[in-house]
Chains A and B, each alone.
Chain A
Amino acid sequence: MLAWSARRLAGAVVLVVLVALGSALVAQLVPGDARDLLAEGTRRGASARAPDPAASPWRWLAGAARGDLGQSLKYRQPVAALIAERIPRTLALTVSGVAIQLLVGLGAGLVLAARRGKWYDGPLSSTLYVLDAVPAFWLGIMLILVFAVQLGWLPISGTTGDPFAERTLFEELAERARHLVLPALTLGLGGAAVIARFLRNSLLDALSSGFVLAARAEGIPERRVVLRSAFRASLLPLITIFGLSFPGLLGGAVIVERVFGWPGIGDLAADAVFSRDVPVIMGTNLMFAVLVVAGNLVADALYAAADPRIRLGRSER
């Protein structure tokens, strides 16, 4: 087990380093620099001067290992500080999104598998199918249209209303929660459909397997059969799917953050690309790589912990 994890860890580090180098190299190709965009439409002579972007990728990498990701050309602040400020906001969003994804996905999947043939089986299936196909940014806009603009129940954008109003802890939490609802739904619903469908199929397969039939024969109540035996069988592939969807989740955060004016990492990264803020581009790419690789590692570790066969031997996934 130890050897296996060491190998995986080493591989992960190498991957992250490669990604960092790669993005650094590509970032050098980005035409123009931040000062041009600060000038936008106006006469060049009066535009601001920005410091030169980072020199060599190696030096940057060495700095990154120390925690120094350089200075943002646009904000004139350390990139690491900018990222650190925004991570919590994106985390709040992604965690909520994942929570919805799991809740809705697992819930729907279970219902579909356990209650086949009921009247809602068909419509629920179809709804999930369509939900999977809906583009996330449009879903967000539609949710805003219905719940914020037309009905006025929820806020249109941002993480909070008046950021400095005096509120009790409860009021503050409520305010934050109100602002989280629509973005989290947008982020989570699409993935929920995938999980639901997958779970339903895998549960159905498991439910008709020999050992489940035996359990039933022994008189164990249906619900326990479903939840314990069949569910456990689906766990492994579920984890895999989850790990694989991690990059997608981060990418989704980029779009959702833009639609909802959520000042998180995705927004920073997209904005940096638009403004040619090279140090920030490199920093956020590195961040994404780390998150994705970490996500995969965790998924792999969980998988390995559950399945002994993995720990021994096989070098290919």
Chain B
Amino acid sequence: MRKHRRVPSAVPLVLGVALALSPAGCGGGGAERTGGSAAAGATATGAPGEPARGGTVTVVVGHDVRTFIDWFAVSTIDLEMTGQVFRPLAEHDAATDELVPALAESWSLEDGGRVIEFTLRDDAAWEDGTPVTSRDVAFTHRMQTDAEVDWVRRGDKRRIARVETPDDRTARFVLDAPYVDGLYDAALGFIYPAHLLEGMSPAELAGSEFAKRPVGCGPFRLSQRQTDIGLEFTASDTYYGGRSHLDRLVVRVNADPKTRAILFEQGDVDLLRMAGTEEFDRMAGDERFRGFEVPYRTFLYVTWNVEQPELAEARVRRALAMALDRERMRGLVLKGHGALCDGPVAPGSWAYVAGLPVPAFDPDAASALLDEAGWKDGDADGVREKDGRPLSFTLAFAGRGGVFQDTATLIRTQLESIGVEVKAQRREPAVFFDELDEGRFHAVLLNETQADKVDLAAYGHSREIGGGTNTARWFHPEFDRACDEAGRAATREQALPRWRRAQEVMAEGQPYTFLYYRPRMHLVSARVRGVEIGPRGLFANVSDWWISLEERRR
């Protein structure tokens, strides 16, 4: 049986709290660290007592961590667990849409923003004692941009010309030209130890022992793992942010979502990621648990293929959008959770514009608009025609969840009521994506997770048509122009009016009808104190989590 750790004397605790709270010095675009602190955590839950050292929190996830190297990672679980052990230069806080210092304690912009100079902390070190230096940053950048490594987000780094390392604590990112997201792109990605990984080929790296048993510099280190069964992280005493209160973080693997929910409800695990609506509603009100709902990350939307004759006219697409009562759909499909989505730019983003000219729910106006466009039901069979061709098409989707099926069914019935015949069909992903890429579809229902940057151009820019991300194959010269200008702008103030115009144009053109945000709902056992789960991620303040002595198990 594990012995209880005795609550340490106040001094190291206070020091730890002080470190956590200290605002990191910053220039240019940096911001104060706003992470939750231990003291704040204790009072936030209303629980008495100070954070106590020790204890184990158990999480259950759907599959094992496949790699700890984020250049090869594809799933959120991989990234979340990697984040326990590794740190980036700076982290993105989606709530404030600002960067928060991590391995870099400060940064400054030079040459009108063309050069970003990061100053690394001097107290960050790898588990083997080697300090984290700019050599690690340069190495990481090389790997992130390597063609053979082929990182998913490699494209985000393409406007960085090179990384200079004048001394151990300084890393200078030289951009091709200053642009709004330069800072974000430079700081993107976890930093890896050059002294341990340099010299290995990408293939070797992917299959390396390091990828399975990493050596990191984060709040935790991986102490044990059993493939497909679980992982054990123990608190790192050398973490620059101060030793976390918890002793251990145990991750259990179970592939079945319902079993995970049962394990949580029975108290075998303390954290349930991505709970379903039914479980969340049932358990969030229970005093044994706390529920967190993170909005604005993943949204559902319809893509209209504007190259199809039936959907070529913007007013037809607007009419179709007008026939959808999105609020009602959200109530039925998401049981009232989540929020309506009007575009790919989320409310938390700096480029968010409220009040876009998105078609409002108005089935009569929709009918009128279709009549105006020449689509009428001449033969009274319930389906409109024009020039002998019926307004009929397939709405395809590949996602396996009930949300897709239910949404598609609701779209079908609502469009039916204004005389549009829709066939809602689930397709095999392979077939689905082939058809999507080649434009052999009419309408599809897709899921997208918000990027931290404004990636509006990806949706509607003409250069992304045909195998790219502009799946609607929509072209609007004003949209292209606005996006190009925004991309070249050096500051947010300059870019904002362009993004606003681009969003307005897209809302009018309706190549996509955005539906709603699917919330991420997480449940935590109330015995774990200090947990703050928000847009910064599930484990954003894991170092501050604690469990009181009485509530510990082992």
A and B part of one assembly: yes
Q: Which residues of A contact B (CB under 8 A)?
A: 31-33, 36-49, 71, 74-78, 85-86, 149, 156-166, 261, 263, 267, 271, 276
The CA-CA distance from A219 to B446 in the complex, in Å, is 81
Check if B150 sits within 8 Å of A40, measured CB to CB.
Answer: no
Considering only residues 324-360 of chain B, those with a C-beta below 8 Å from chain A are none
A to B CB contacts below 8 Å, 26 in the list? A37-B429, A38-B74, A40-B398, A41-B447, A45-B464, A45-B468, A47-B152, A49-B150, A74-B66, A76-B206, A77-B66, A149-B262, A156-B259, A158-B252, A158-B254, A159-B229, A162-B252, A163-B232, A163-B250, A164-B224, A164-B230, A164-B250, A165-B554, A166-B1, A261-B256, A263-B227
Check if B430 sits within 8 Å of A33, measured CB to CB.
Answer: yes
B58-87 near A? 1/0 per residue, CB < 8 Å: 100000001100001011000000000000
Check if B72 sits within 8 Å of A85, measured CB to CB.
Answer: no
* Neighbouring A residues of B1 by C-beta, 8 Å: 166
* Neighbouring B residues of A276 by C-beta, 8 Å: 430
* Neighbouring A residues of B458 by C-beta, 8 Å: 45
Check if B429 sits within 8 Å of A163, measured CB to CB.
Answer: no
For A164, give the chain B residue with the smallest CB separation: B232
State whether the Cβ of B9 lies closer than 8 Å to any Cβ in chain A: no
B164 to chain A, nearest CB (A): 30
**A31-B430, A163-B230, A163-B252 as given contacts; A45 in contact with B469, CB under 8 Å:** yes
Check if B400 sits within 8 Å of A40, measured CB to CB.
Answer: yes
For B67, give the chain A residue with the smallest CB separation: A76
For B468, give the chain A residue with the smallest CB separation: A45
B34 to chain A, nearest CB (A): 28
The CA-CA distance from A9 to B229 in the complex, in Å, is 37
The residue that A261 contacts in the complex, of B259, B448, B464, with Cβ under 8 A, is: B259
The residue that B152 contacts in the complex, of A46, A165, A267, with Cβ under 8 A, is: A46
A64 to chain B, nearest CB (A): 18
Check if A163 sits within 8 Å of B226, measured CB to CB.
Answer: yes
The CA-CA distance from A166 to B247 in the complex, in Å, is 14
Check if B428 sits within 8 Å of A157, measured CB to CB.
Answer: no
Check if B262 sits within 8 Å of A86, measured CB to CB.
Answer: no
**A149-B262, A157-B259, A166-B2 as given contacts; A42 in contact with B448, CB under 8 Å:** yes
Considering only residues 424-482 of chain B, those with a C-beta below 8 Å from chain A are 428-434, 436-437, 446-449, 458, 464, 468-469, 471
For B401, give the chain A residue with the smallest CB separation: A41
State whether the Cβ of B118 lies closer than 8 Å to any Cβ in chain A: no
* Neighbouring B residues of A160 by C-beta, 8 Å: 229
Check if A41 sits within 8 Å of B398, measured CB to CB.
Answer: yes
State whether the Cβ of B263 lies closer than 8 Å to any Cβ in chain A: yes
Check if A43 sits within 8 Å of B471, measured CB to CB.
Answer: yes
Interface size class of B (residues with CB under 8 A): 35 or more
Check if B429 sits within 8 Å of A36, measured CB to CB.
Answer: yes
Total A-B pairs, Cβ < 8 A: 116
A128 to chain B, nearest CB (A): 31
* Neighbouring B residues of A47 by C-beta, 8 Å: 152
The CA-CA distance from A261 to B229 in the complex, in Å, is 10
* Neighbouring B residues of A271 by C-beta, 8 Å: 255
* Neighbouring B residues of A31 by C-beta, 8 Å: 428, 430-431
**A31-B430, A149-B262, A158-B252 as given contacts; A42 in contact with B232, CB under 8 Å:** no
Check if A32 sits within 8 Å of B430, measured CB to CB.
Answer: yes
Check if A75 sits within 8 Å of B429, measured CB to CB.
Answer: no
State whether the Cβ of B399 lies closer than 8 Å to any Cβ in chain A: yes
Check if A77 sits within 8 Å of B207, measured CB to CB.
Answer: yes
* Neighbouring A residues of B107 by C-beta, 8 Å: none
For B554, give the chain A residue with the smallest CB separation: A165
B226 to chain A, nearest CB (A): 5
The CA-CA distance from A105 to B431 in the complex, in Å, is 48
The residue that A41 contacts in the complex, of B207, B254, B404, B469, with Cβ under 8 A, is: B404
Check if A48 sits within 8 Å of B152, measured CB to CB.
Answer: yes
A32, A42, A44, A267, most chain B CB atoms within 10 A: A44
Check if B259 sits within 8 Å of A162, measured CB to CB.
Answer: no
Closest 5 CB pairs of A and B: A32-B430, A41-B399, A45-B469, A41-B447, A263-B228
A154 to chain B, nearest CB (A): 12
Q: A40-B447, A162-B58 are in contact. List 13 more A-B contacts (CB 8 A).
A: A31-B428, A32-B431, A44-B436, A49-B150, A86-B228, A156-B263, A158-B254, A163-B250, A164-B224, A166-B554, A261-B254, A261-B256, A276-B430
The CA-CA distance from A85 to B229 in the complex, in Å, is 11
The CA-CA distance from A36 to B436 in the complex, in Å, is 12
State whether the Cβ of B239 lies closer than 8 Å to any Cβ in chain A: no
* Neighbouring A residues of B246 by C-beta, 8 Å: none
Check if B447 sits within 8 Å of A85, measured CB to CB.
Answer: no
The CA-CA distance from A187 to B303 in the complex, in Å, is 47
